[in-house]
Amino acid sequence: MGYLETLVLLASFCEKAVLMGKTILRSLPKLTEREKQILIGAKDGCYLLVDFGRLAILHSQEREFGSPDQPEEAALYLDALERLCHRGLIRHIQGNHFQLTGRGYLLAKQLRRRTG
């Protein structure tokens, strides 16, 4: 699947999940470690999906989730982003921009308190 197709698919997942009103309470115990890292990995709650040719890598101001040298790791983080969109914790803003939903911000705050 190409970069644009991936972007469109993620945007669709995010929109549907937000409209369905997924809840935080059911999400918290089921989060994977990568999902938690993404949630707490952007203090401003904003993410960018960057195209590296054959590979899309998620970025925040604080960190990069994977690298071109580690395509498997980048793919696993992309899978985690997709699950967070399904859960209604991240929404597509436009283009390659994603942001935490209100529930996503609340959950990220809870996770930071637990780990911090």
* Tens digit of each residue's pLDDT (9 = 90 or more) over 61-95: 999 999 999 999 999 999 999 999 988 899 999 99
| Spatial CA neighbour of 31 closest among 116, 96, 108 | 108
Would you list the domain boundaries of the chain? 3-115
- What pLDDT score was predicted for residue 54? 83
Q: Give the distance from CA 6 to its chain's centroid.
A: 13
How high is the pLDDT of residue 23?
47
Average pLDDT of the chain to the nearest whole number: 84
pLDDT of amino acid 24: 46
Q: Which residue has the higher pLDDT, 72 or 22?
A: 72
Q: Please, how many CA atoms are within 13 Å of residue 25, restricted to the half-sphere of its CB?
A: 0
Q: What pLDDT does residue 22 have?
A: 52
DSSP state string for 55-78: -EEEE-SS-EESBTTBHHHHHHHH
* Contact indicator for 58, 75 with CB cutoff of 8 Å: no
